[in-house]
Amino acid sequence: MRVAQDKPLEGLIRAKAAELGFAACGIARADAAPATGARLRQWLEEGRHGSMIWMEERADHRASPAGLWPEVRSVIALGMSYAPAHDPLALAEVGERGRISVYAQGQDYHDVVKKALKALGRWLAETAPAPLKVFVDTAPVMEKPLAEAAGLGWQGKHTNLVSRSHGSWLFLGAIYTTLDLAPDAPGRDRCGNCTACQGACPTDAFPAPYRLDARRCISYLTIEHRGAIPREFREGIGNRIYGCDDCLAVCPWNKFASAAQANLAFAARAELAAPELRDLLALDEAAFRQVFSGSPIKRIGRDRMVRNCLVAAGNSGSAALVPVVAGLLDDPAPEVRGAAVWALKRLDPARSEAERATRAAGETDPAVLDEWLI
């Protein structure tokens, strides 16, 4: 399709996307990723999505753009950089501080990317009137295979998108439109023989290259998983309290990524770059909401975050954390009480046995203790 002055609409879209803060923009036909549905169904049948039931419930919509919106003809795939200015692995050995995934240290990407997508959508509707829909993460859209089909990069062995220019640090969004736009060449897999991301995973979440078992993934365990974290993964979690960057951070393609290309909205907030576990363990509900206002972390709630921090505390080996951990043995939330039992047992076994003996009889749900101690 052509617009005024015979300028290609596709070029105008890219220019407008860059103006709105997108570091990458590509176009694909709506049917450009035909293998997506079969791969998704296999993943679901193997149960590798864990408790993320919504992946099952709208699998038909996720399988292809037409499954969600039959009228769609083209997909505009967009990427916004959040390349970090610091080494995501720098705090790996600093046990008394929590590690928060790079993507969650700044403003909530849902809000930032959605705002830019809507602005691009309004501009496109005015420039070339046609029905369209915008999506970022929360809709049943498989952004990564669509981004690959649109030439933004390729899905690496860690299953995330890898860009030659931006490494593993892109937030993805998509615009579905009924316009017939000229597609870009799809991305080409450039992982080669590299297995850095596979070897970096502390919980062995990759059963094979390009395959992820979410049930073993630290991002899933600290964000999506409710209740007790299975014992086999607790030590591997280390001091990660929200998400994990390890498989992304070791990707060699990140050497081409630059923090200067990142949207300033995603710059790390000082209080989230290297938070002290002591401070986070002391949060009540009101303080949690205040600290994480405007952050994607807010959605998991105070209890799950404190649970994560207790696992990190148990892995820290820090005797200085014993008093604050012991203080959570009487927390109103069962998942917090249980995690406190495990953490205290790791940090001070003798005190743990004494504390457990005095509290076990009063525990309203003894299974809370059992699931953390087995």
**Which of the residues are catalytic?**
137
As a whole number of angstroms, the distance between CA 336 and CA 288 comes to 14
Distance of CA 314 to the CA centre of its chain: 24
End-to-end distance of the chain based on CA atoms, in angstroms? 63
Q: Torsions phi, psi of 53, nearest 5?
A: -60, -30
As a whole number of angstroms, the distance between CA 281 and CA 157 comes to 35
Strands 99-100 and 240-242: parallel
As a whole number of angstroms, the distance between CA 134 and CA 146 comes to 14
As a whole number of angstroms, the distance between CA 259 and CA 84 comes to 5
Do residues 341 and 356 make contact, with C-beta atoms less than 8 angstroms apart?
Answer: yes
Do residues 235 and 194 make contact, with C-beta atoms less than 8 angstroms apart?
Answer: no
